Structure 1
Amino acid sequence: MSTETSTESGTALVPAKFSRLTRRGILLGLSASQLVTLGIAGVSLVGSFYGGGGALFLLTSPIWILGAAMTWIPISGRPAVEWVPIAGWWVWRASMGQLIYRRRIVMPRPAGTLALPGDAARLREYSDPETGAGMIHDPTAATLTVMIELSHPAFVLLDPVEQNRRVESWGRVLATICRSGRISQLQVLERTLPDSGQGLAEWWSAHGSDDGSWAATTYAELIDRAGPAGERHATTLSLSLDMKHAARQIRTAGGGLRGAANILRQDMSTLASALRAADLSFTDWLSTGQIAVILRSAYDPAIAATLERHGEIGQDLATAGPVAVTERWGHLRTDSAFHAVLWISEWPRAMVHPGFLSPVLLSTGIQRAFSLICTPLRTDQAARDIRKKKVEYISDRTQRARIGQIEDAGHSAEFQDVLQQEADLTAGHGVVRYTGLISVSAETLDDLDRDLAALEQAAIQASCETRRLVGQQARAFTAAALPLCRRV
């Protein structure tokens, strides 16, 4: 791929490159779980030889054969031993009846809690008295999250000069959250929604001339029919405060949720200034009622258009969750739709231009939510992590050379990525870890499979690799489709 694209004005699109997903292990490319199973197999094999061989060797053969198979035989691109925790956790949840959720209508939840299934049920709502923003508190993870809705022009329609400027401005936004040192996550959620036609109706009401003529009547009927048949895109930005790292500032600000809200309000102001500098338009921070509408629309897509047309309903977080959820190994069933989550397991390995995700984000006829979770690392933490990676790579390379194993080109490329991260950190840039999740929703399982296949092909066009998450679809859905800065 060419590293730059010239334009008539002599400017060029600046390409970027993502770091590879590390494949290294603790020893000779083997992970800790692989070393454990290989060690058990080796001990049983050596013990059978020294214990008399013969019958003992045959008696222990299931142990060392199974251990070797689980160490090296891959299943869906991962060693078999790495599926043990996922399958074990799934079996335990199935035996405990945690794969099925039904809302208890006659037993309302405690005041201030969210009516969400699974571990998201521990979330609490808090309304900031000064800004009116709705904040979501996770007492277990010790985070406080706030959300804002963004509006922006179509990036792919801008000229290269403007695209470069906006990319650089967005980089400054990410650098802002990295310098804070107390931000846990930043989540960008871009989702498609069935258009209720409310926007067209409001435009016609404000600018149209309803004089009773044939043209006006025909145009009004066209708006009524075309609006609900279309779809629109909505983008939210979520900011999560790490209350553990900000404990001292929170105590100074008064302690508790009020003190945490005071500290988060400072980061909200800083982020708002950075967004204005990046020419990203936004309204006020989302209230608890607006958050409730987003949650309800994610679990019950069929009601999304109705909630948009009638802004006075669905504004209660206590009732915003689903009525019923059934989790399967590879998909999730909620009130009015089936859902499945794809994980972007590999970002582009070659140089790509800023709009490389256009095939995924501009796909039509598919109801999906794309979530980009940015985890900023503090400068000292990033420096320690880079030094640790360098030591591991150098040690692994020395061990491979000692036993005569040929160096893999993939390991060399990963080591170069580490060196580039160190250079960027030294130059004053922040280090951010990206996690990409795509949640797909459909009315039937057949439609879901069709839409998943279409999005997987769109991801291939974007030079990305995707994997369908299994055994954890419920947690993955809350991270991919809800603007709550959740982890998988």
Structure 2
Amino acid sequence: MKHEPRTYGGWRQRRGVGLLGLDTTATFTALGAAMGVVLIAAVVPGLLPYLLPPVALGAALGLVRVGGEPPARLAWARWRWWWGSRRGHTRYRAGVVVDHPRAFQLPGVLAPLTLLSAEDGYGGRYGVVWDRRQGLLTATLRVVPASTWLADRNDADGWVASWGGWLAGLGHLPAVRWVSVTVDTAPEPGSTLAESVGRALDPSAPERARQIMGELVATAPAAAADVDTRVSITFDPKVSPTGSTELTGAVAELGRVLDGLASALGGCGVAVLGRATAAEIAGIVRTAFDPHARGEVNRLLAGADADDALTWCDAGPIGAVEYTGHYEHDGGTSVSWAWHEPPRQNVHSNVLARLVAPGPYPKRVTLQYRPLPAAAASRVLQQEVNAAAFRAQFRRRTGRDETARDSWDAARARQAAAEEAAGAGVCLVSLYTTVTVTDPAELPRATAQVEAAADNAKIRLRRLWGSQAAGFATTLPCGIYPAELSRRLVH
């Protein structure tokens, strides 16, 4: 008997009670403005000809869509970018020969971060990225995933179910703010293989054999890839059960949470290698800013004194310049995208395989999960169901027909509420992708390759115009969450 492969779904964009593509706030603002125009027209009809032009302009700026965004929002973003560029916020230069404790501060949204080294309770140490502005702590677990292509279908289904249960469990850990799963791939620089072969090669071996080994080492990097998978967990001590805001106690609480989360990950199709050390986190950030340093960083981390090989001062770039469509930094140029729309249909367990697969350019793909507290998840989903019913009632009152997408969205909202009532968790999901090239001339080819892989994964990506530095930082194990950044007041 032939069995069809299992499919998965459940993604749905949060909509609220917005009408005509607007969010909730904009919808009520537009309705209030319309009621104001009606009242003015009834009381002072002579003002109506003067009100219609600004009202029409405001409607055009708010209702028309350019690339999925209203022109008013695009104009505001352009103005903020111009103002930031004029003030020098898009450029960074490190003071290499400056005797100052902040000379090596990282650029942009990474500036408030610092790197700590903590004891894991088992005789080892691990790295913690501390956000000094918000008080958040981020630790990273190094994992090795199993391939779903080589696994039995039942095993793959079990891994997906366990991963769903792992995410659902986060709803009962209020201190866990969000989780970032990153697959970091790059062509193997060849230094590790060359050093290994060089140590093993017998000086008395025949010249022809030595020549063949040299040719193999020279050609191997074109076919090999360096793949690193990690799970970064951001912890908020202020809402932890202990309520400890003192740094030492907060890090100790984070360590206890990591023990439980790491043990539960074992059933999700990954092997947990352990917690990333401070030197490994600094090395990841360093190679992201300078792709040419990958071989040297790998050599340092493989040495005997790996724990002290790299520090936070070594992680940052010497210089970086952000443009609207790309980000230039030490030895590389990067482009970042965000998840614009998830797959509209059910997908297989390996839907992201093409997107995260190694390619000819260094690439990082990050999936971020922000779990909703278990107590709030049912309320949020019920609000989504009520919002879908409100939009359906509005269409009936205005004589508009229901579209296929409206029907699908309402069904998804009811399905999510029913699944949550049966014990499922609810997460806000986003995806970010960054590709880096060492030759700017290769940038068009690299961007085309990533966008083609996203299309193969049935995902719509949107280039982060004007937010390239933030997108670049999001794919690093530093606990950056763009949705949280957008809510902060920028001074």
Q: Shorter-chain TM-score: what band?
A: 0.7 to 0.9
Q: Report the Cα distance in structure 2 between the residues aligned to 1:330 and 1:340, rounded to whole angstroms.
A: 7
Q: Identity over aligned residues, as a percent? A: 26
**Residues 27 and 396, structure 1, Cα contact 8 Å, conserved in 2:** yes
The amino acid that maps onto 1:164 is: D
Q: How does 1:210-229 map to 2 (within 5 A)?
A: 212-213=205-206, 216-229=209-222
The answer on 1:244 being equivalent to 2:252 is no
**C-alpha displacement at 1:288, in angstroms?**
1.2
Aligned counterpart for 1:140 among listed residues 117, 133, 138:
133
Q: Output the CA distance in 1 between the equivalents of 2:31 and 2:134.
A: 35
The question of whether the paired residues in 2 share the 8 Å contact of 1:19 and 1:414 is answered with no
Equivalent position of 2:489 in the other structure: none
Give the unaligned 5+ runs of structure 2. 483-491
Q: Which residue of 1 aligns with 2:282?
A: 292
Rate the CA distance shift 1:42–1:78 in 2: closer, same or farther, 3 A: farther
Secondary structure class of the residue paired with 1:180: coil
Partner residue of 2:265?
275
Deviation at 1:308, TM superposition (A): 1.4
Which residue of 239, 247, 269 maps to 1:257?
Answer: 247
Corresponding residue for residue 86 of structure 2: 95
1:69-468 to 2 correspondence within 5 Å? 69-107=60-98, 110=101, 115-130=105-120, 131-201=124-194, 204=197, 212-213=205-206, 216-229=209-222, 230-246=224-240, 248-251=241-244, 255-311=245-301, 315-362=310-357, 364-468=359-463
Partner of 1:19: 11
Name the amino acid aligned to 1:197.
Answer: G
3-state SS, counterpart of residue 125 of structure 2: coil
- Write out per-residue CA displacement over residues 228-248 of structure 1, whole angstroms, 9 at most, x where no aligned residue: 4443211111111122321x4
CA distance, structure 2, for counterparts of residue 208 and residue 161 of structure 1: 45
How far apart, in 1, do the equivalents of 2:45 and 2:162 lie? 71
Q: What is the letter of the counterpart of residue 263 of structure 2?
A: S
Structure 1 residues 214, 95: CA separation in 2 closer, same or farther (over 3 Å shift)?
closer
Deviation at 1:34, TM superposition (A): 6.1
SS, match of residue 75 in structure 1: coil
Q: Deviations over 1:102-152 (max 9, x none)?
A: 1122445637x9731113211122211344111111133331110122123
Give the 5 Å matches for 1:16-55: 16-23=8-15, 25-27=17-19, 29-31=21-23, 32-33=25-26, 36=29, 53=46
Change (3 A) 1:174 1:202: farther
- The 3-state SS of whatever aligns with 1:148 is strand
Separation (CA, whole Å) in 2 of partners of 1:128 and 1:310: 20
CA distance in 2, matches of 1:95, 1:44: 39
1:266-307 per-position Cα deviation (integer Å, ceiling 9, x unaligned) = 111112211233352233311111111100111111211222
Cα distance between partner residues in 2 of 1:398 and 1:59: 33
Instruction: Please give the secondary structure, in 1, of the residue aligned with 2:239.
Output: coil
Partner Cα separation in structure 2 for residue 423 and residue 91 of structure 1: 47
TM-align CA RMSD: 2.9
Amino acid at match of 2:110: A
Task: Write the distance in 1 (CA, Å) between the matches of 2:167 and 2:70.
Answer: 35
| Contact 1:145/1:484 (8 A) holds in 2 | yes
1:135 partner letter: V
User: What CA distance in whole angstroms lies between the structure 1 residues aligned with 2:159 and 2:367?
Assistant: 18
Change (3 A) 1:209 1:353: farther
Counterpart CA distance in 2 for 1:78 and 1:187 is 26
- Aligned partners of 1:44 and 1:304: how far apart in 2? 62
CA contact 2:95–2:104 (8 Å) conserved in 1:
no
**Conserved 8 A contact 1:44-1:63:** no
Which segment is superposed worse, 265-274 or 43-52?
43-52
Distance apart, 1:436 and its partner CA = 0.6
TM-score by length of 2: 0.87
Residue 449 to residue 23, structure 1, CA distance change in 2 (3 Å): farther
Q: Look up the equivalent residue of 1:338 and give its one-letter code.
A: T
Distance 1:57 1:401, change over 3 A: closer
Q: In 2 relative to 1, CA 358–404 (structure 1 residues): closer, same or farther, beyond 3 Å?
A: same
Q: Is the 8 A contact 2:337 2:464 kept in 1?
A: yes
2:485 is the counterpart of 1:484: no
Instruction: Select between 274-283 and 206-215 the one with higher mean Cα deviation.
Output: 206-215
Per the alignment, in what secondary structure is the counterpart of residue 156 of structure 1? coil
| Deviation of the 1:49 alpha carbon | 9.0
Q: Give the whole-Å Cα distance in 2 for the aligned partners of 1:151 and 1:478.
A: 23
Q: How many residues align?
A: 472
Q: Which whole-Å CA distance do the structure 2 matches of 1:205 and 1:444 have between them?
A: 29
CA distance in 1, matches of 2:317, 2:193: 30
CA distance, structure 1, for counterparts of residue 153 and residue 225 of structure 2: 27
Query: 1:23-72: per-residue Cα shift (whole Å, max 9, x none)?
Result: 5653454333466468658857975896574xx66655652332121022
Contact 2:20 2:63 in 1 (8 A): no
Q: Tell me the SS of whatever aligns to 2:92.
A: strand
Q: 1:456 to 1:25 in 2, by over 3 A?
A: farther
Structure-2 residue corresponding to 1:67: 58
Give the direction of change, closer, same or farther, for the CA distance of 1:276–1:213 in structure 2 (3 Å limit): farther
Paired residue for 2:487? none
Distance change in 2, residues 1:18/1:341 (3 Å): farther
Distance 1:291 1:114 in 2: 16
Q: Is the 8 A contact 2:148 2:349 kept in 1?
A: no
**Once the 2 structures are TM-superposed, how far is the Cα of residue 446 of structure 1 from its aligned partner?**
3.6
Q: Deviations over 1:404-459 (max 9, x none)?
A: 22223322222222222222222222112211111111134442122111211221
Q: Is the 8 A contact 1:142 1:242 kept in 2?
A: yes
